[in-house]
Structure 1
Amino acid sequence: MTISPDAVPAASAVNFRTVDLRGQALSLAGLRAAVPRAQGSTVADAEDKVTAIISAVRQSGFAALSELAGRFDGVEQQHPRVPAAALRTALEQLDPAVRRALEESIGRARKFADAQRPRNVDVELGDGAVVSQNWVPVARVGLYVPGGLAVYPSSVVMNVVPALAAGVDSIALASPPQKEFGGLPHPTILAAAELLGITEVYAIGGAQAIAAFAYGVEGSEAGPALEPVDVVTGPGNIFVATAKRLVKGVVGIDSEAGTTEIAILADATAKPALVAADLISQAEHDPKAASVLITDSADLAAAVRVELDRQAAATRHSARVQEALSGPQSGVVLVDGLEQGIAACDAYAAEHLEIMTADAPAVAARIRNAGAIFVGDYSPVSLGDYCAGSNHVLPTSGTAAFSSGLNVTTFLRAIQVVNYTREALQEVGGHIVSLSRAEDLPAHGDAVTVRFGAPS
């Protein structure tokens, strides 16, 4: 495997490195080790810091939240609950064009979410023997909407709509306090919450929001209690993702939706300008964002480098983009052909995977691991971020190999219901006794035979 930062002009501000896998037959483990990833002890460092934050919130409640708001957000806070009047005012003052865009996004997301709800099933296994599976919503959820380098009203939509479609009755939403807006979340966040009918909104950011949702916070003179939730969802930085990992088991989570990433599988038919634009679109989220091109065309890779340099220099968040594209988590992966390219995609398990190849739909159908797949020139990731109807809260850091993006079933539980008559139980009673004896659990068999007046 060859890794090099070259193939760009000396004056280039984008140091988009190369991982050359051509001529190598790598195992899955080898591919996972080869594809670009963030390096260093970031995760371990985050765990130590997040553990301390969770402990502080559990021990000191709103006092800890107030101290953390001052430390991380630079605001003084008595209680994080956002007043209802602030929600109403935010919607009243929302730019009409932004409101129309949010309404379109909500409508498309709601239509897709409504279609996702699984049906209950009843299976008759014999006369009087019925087993059912019923889908039941969780009682209460906590939805996190990040702040920081950007404003994400779209994440309000992505969190809230599937929860509503699932039938969740109690929804709380948290987003970081903003000094610029008097310690409240950004007004566009508040407007989106009001538009969707969410009245319980908190100005809490980062890992402390996840801790507050998971464990709850007792009421005080400063304000009412924040009741614990059953499920926490939403994207965020590495601290938010780490907090979700640490509270998993206390509450359910959607996935570890951390710092954003995009992979593009492209061949010689791809348009370099489009590839570069889409890599940049995700790089502008965060200096740690990952942008990866997987291709069997060295010519395409060279052309994309030129476009990256040109487009990155012209974009508004140029410094942030250039840092993300030049980081160890980004780069071009050169492969021998489509087969190795697909294998590399599955090893990477991207949050967002774009397919820009000949016969892109057929190639997309062969991908096993991705949070979401975007097919062809006219399905960029930014479409999914806002108005595709799909959800943009997706697993990152390779976790798409075993977890799914946010959807209606995130907020549902499948409850199995067993309903047998006397005759139906008697029909299988002998089998139960035999298996209970085989497992040396005879009381299991006795619990059946006692119903018929005979010992097992």
Structure 2
Amino acid sequence: MKIFLNPDKNIWPEISVRPQLALDFLESSVRNVMNRVKASGDKALRELTLQYDKADVSTLRVSQNEFDAAERALPQSLKDAITTAAANISKFHAAQTREPMSTETTSGVLCWRKAVPIDTVGIYIPGGSAPLFSTVLMLGIPASLAGCREVILCSPPDASGNINAAILFAASLVGVKQVFKVGGAQAIAAMTFGTESVPRVYKIFGPGNQYVTKAKQLAMEEGVAIDMPAGPSEVLVWADSTADPNFVAADLLSQAEHGEDSQVILVTNEEGLVATVQASIERQLKALPRKAIAEKALASSRVVVLTDQQRAIDFINEYAPEHLIINTDDADDVVDKIRNAGSVFLGNYSPEAIGDYASGTNHTLPTNGYAKSYAGVSLESFCKFITYQRLTKDGLKKLGPVVETMAEAEQLIGHKMAVRVRLDALQNS
């Protein structure tokens, strides 16, 4: 991890740059995949699944027998853990339900707004070296609570043509029945255009590598909405002398093991803390099965020593981390000064990993600085909000002349007439 001691503000953007894999051909490659799926449907999906996942899949949709086998294959302890996490996630998201808002803006003019579920949504679940069954809960539960009529889930199969058993169990638990054995950019393409097997959706959710992220961005060009332009995972830990160095090291490693292009940042006012955290990282790293991945992520990660608290706050807001752990003595006092973060964890005993799995908050969050303008996934992400209005005769009489004046000033006489014909009818009745 590269160390920066009280860096000047003019190099903060350089420090905040996220690692990118060298994929100069990324967009053209993903466009080619998208076009193949659009043109050839299921045939292209089978060919691409064989090419990229080494799986020969004749039937793309997961059968009920496969769901049943997955449930039998999982140990009860894991099923219990998933069920507990699901209950917490459901409780937190159910609490986000909003009652329709209504107000009388002018006497006789009633306006209201209410949430309406998105009819058809698609969920992408990575399933390679780290099958993210927890993301099934994070996306499937709010989709169900919102009342989405159709939920499509795509995840890459293993070389035997099977989807990870925990992914299938989690999908069944949250009521997602349409699961397809297809991953990568081709899965996003299938949900964007629809194929003989995979339905077209209105909005796509879920994390993924740079191919998946680029495919989601291209899906927007086809009129399909996405949750956010989320990319590789990241965490920023803000620590002072009261932080346990072993906890800090563990939190950094928990994100570094996600992928080679993940990034972890340590911000501290204590230069002496840096060496003890680094030593703990070296010790803990040896025990990680994904050590090689974590090491590559650490190579592009940063330590930023900022002795002035306000500068530390300003840097954190500039970086806009996906996950922010505030492990300082005054965490409760400074947290309200943080404006840009996906999800915040306070104190020595709030590891980010808890939010990844079971506290109840959603772990599908903005990365790469998008926390400056995007929020993480919530119940509202699966809804759109429709506004309504109803005018009484008296309401139209009061507000109609205002609209006539404004419409005439904009030279939109048809708008004016839509009001005038009604006012004339009321006057003559």
Q: Same fold (TM over 0.5)?
A: yes
Deviation at 1:163, TM superposition (A): 0.6
1:31 equivalent in structure 2: 12
Q: Does 1:293 align with 2:273?
A: no
- Partner Cα distance (1:99, 1:303) in 2: 38
2:190 corresponds to which letter in structure 1? A
Secondary structure in 2 matching 1:344 = helix
2:282 corresponds to which letter in structure 1? D
Is the 8 Å Cα contact of residues 396 and 423 (structure 2) preserved in structure 1?
no
How many residues align? The count is 424
Q: Does 1:84 align with 2:55?
A: no
- Partner Cα distance (1:302, 1:122) in 2: 57
- Partner Cα distance (2:269, 2:214) in 1: 35
- Partner Cα distance (1:94, 1:314) in 2: 25
Q: Does 1:184 align with 2:162?
A: yes
Deviation readout 1:88-109 (Å, 9 max, x if unpaired): 2211232100000000000000
- Partner Cα distance (1:282, 1:442) in 2: 59
1:332 equivalent in structure 2: 303
Of 180, 186, 192, 1:208 maps to 186
Q: Does 1:417 align with 2:388?
A: yes
Deviation at 1:268, TM superposition (A): 2.4
Of 295, 299, 308, 2:281 maps to 308
1:322 equivalent in structure 2: 295
Is the 8 Å Cα contact of residues 126 and 207 (structure 2) preserved in structure 1?
yes
- Partner Cα distance (1:425, 1:68) in 2: 59
Q: Which runs of 5+ in 1 are unaligned?
A: 1-15, 220-224
Deviation at 1:41, TM superposition (A): 4.9
Q: Does 1:277 align with 2:250?
A: yes
Between 1:353-362 and 1:107-116, the stretch displaced more is: 353-362
Is the 8 Å Cα contact of residues 340 and 372 (structure 2) preserved in structure 1?
yes
1:143 corresponds to which letter in structure 2? I
Secondary structure in 1 matching 2:204 = strand
Is the 8 Å Cα contact of residues 91 and 195 (structure 1) preserved in structure 2?
no
Secondary structure in 2 matching 1:314 = coil
Is the 8 Å Cα contact of residues 265 and 302 (structure 2) preserved in structure 1?
yes
- Partner Cα distance (1:111, 1:423) in 2: 45
1:159 corresponds to which letter in structure 2? L
Deviation readout 1:331-378 (Å, 9 max, x if unpaired): 211223211111111111111111011111222221111110111111
Runs of 4+ in 1 over 3 A off after TM superposition: 39-42
- Partner Cα distance (2:114, 2:175) in 1: 27
Q: Does 1:248 align with 2:220?
A: yes
Between 1:127-136 and 1:45-54, the stretch displaced more is: 45-54
2:131 corresponds to which letter in structure 1? V
Secondary structure in 2 matching 1:173 = strand
Is the 8 Å Cα contact of residues 127 and 424 (structure 1) preserved in structure 2?
yes
1:143 equivalent in structure 2: 123
Is the 8 Å Cα contact of residues 149 and 286 (structure 1) preserved in structure 2?
no
- Partner Cα distance (1:45, 1:270) in 2: 43
1:134 corresponds to which letter in structure 2? K
- Partner Cα distance (1:319, 1:389) in 2: 31
Deviation readout 1:222-273 (Å, 9 max, x if unpaired): xxx3221111101111111121122125222111222111111112222211
Is the 8 Å Cα contact of residues 247 and 348 (structure 2) preserved in structure 1?
yes
- Partner Cα distance (1:47, 1:266) in 2: 39
Is the 8 Å Cα contact of residues 109 and 389 (structure 1) preserved in structure 2?
yes
Secondary structure in 1 matching 2:74 = coil
2:151 equivalent in structure 1: 171
2:366 corresponds to which letter in structure 1? P
Is the 8 Å Cα contact of residues 266 and 357 (structure 1) preserved in structure 2?
yes
Q: 1:126 to 1:39 in 2, by over 3 A?
A: closer
Q: Which runs of 5+ in 2 are unaligned?
A: none
- Partner Cα distance (1:126, 1:434) in 2: 17
- Partner Cα distance (2:262, 2:54) in 1: 25
Between 1:65-74 and 1:208-217, the stretch displaced more is: 208-217
- Partner Cα distance (1:340, 1:241) in 2: 32
2:278 corresponds to which letter in structure 1? R
Deviation readout 1:174-229 (Å, 9 max, x if unpaired): 111111xx312111111111222221100110111111112111x2xxxxx32211
TM-score normalized by the length of structure 2: 0.95
Is the 8 Å Cα contact of residues 21 and 261 (structure 2) preserved in structure 1?
no
Is the 8 Å Cα contact of residues 126 and 156 (structure 2) preserved in structure 1?
yes
- Partner Cα distance (1:450, 1:201) in 2: 54
The CA RMSD over aligned residues, in Å, is 1.6
Deviation at 1:40, TM superposition (A): 6.4
Is the 8 Å Cα contact of residues 178 and 185 (structure 1) preserved in structure 2?
yes
Deviation at 1:25, TM superposition (A): 4.3
- Partner Cα distance (1:301, 1:312) in 2: 16
Is the 8 Å Cα contact of residues 264 and 293 (structure 1) preserved in structure 2?
yes
Is the 8 Å Cα contact of residues 144 and 174 (structure 2) preserved in structure 1?
no
Is the 8 Å Cα contact of residues 152 and 199 (structure 2) preserved in structure 1?
no
- Partner Cα distance (1:393, 1:374) in 2: 15
TM-score normalized by the length of structure 1: 0.90
